[in-house]
Amino acid sequence: MRKIRIGNDIKVVWAIKVNGGKGKLSDLQGTVLELHDAFGWWKKVDFTIENDSVVFNWSGKEQKKTGRYTLTFWANFGKERQAVVDCCDFVNLVSRSCESDGCSKNLDVQSEVSLDGELSLGVQGKSAYRVWLDNGHEGTEADFLEWLRLPSIEAANSAAYLQDLGDINEIKIES
């Protein structure tokens, strides 16, 4: 987490992999970026997407409080296959330059924060039925469901059989 003097302009570049790098950030719909502080304040942030990175500038004049800040990036916000990723404590705004990273004594016109993240959209895998077929079984979904029930049915039958044996073979010891 970078410590940056409050009041300095900050450029944020957040590289986000989509589905392990298989998707493109620029192809996503309904994207929203939010900036949060530790006390519940938040706001939507205007951003651009450049080379699979979310990029935005946080003006020093917009910064009102010191403390830690979190970013939240949404894809398909409010729709099917909605996904979200956070970058917690991406920056800590401090009140004095001597508290910032490296105890800067220089006048920084703009600080830059580089981040990494990964966003997984609802990727469909194979159904259990499809895996069953791929493992050499044949039949309909009803056959698959019956196959799933077999261990329970066999266990119940075994328990009933053992119960019957117990009833037949009771040994009574008389003293």
Give the residue among 36, 43, 38 at the shortest CA–CA distance from 67. 38
Per-residue pLDDT of the chain (175 residues; tens, 9 = 90+): 889 999 999 999 999 998 888 888 888 889 999 999 999 999 999 999 999 999 999 999 999 999 999 999 998 887 877 889 999 999 999 999 888 886 655 555 567 787 777 766 655 566 787 788 888 888 888 888 888 777 777 777 777 666 666 655 555 566 5
The pTM of this model reads 0.64
Instruction: Give me 119's structure tokens.
Output: 């966003």
Domain boundaries, the chain: 2-119, 128-168
- For residue 48, list its beta bridge partners: 55
CATH class of 2-119: mainly beta
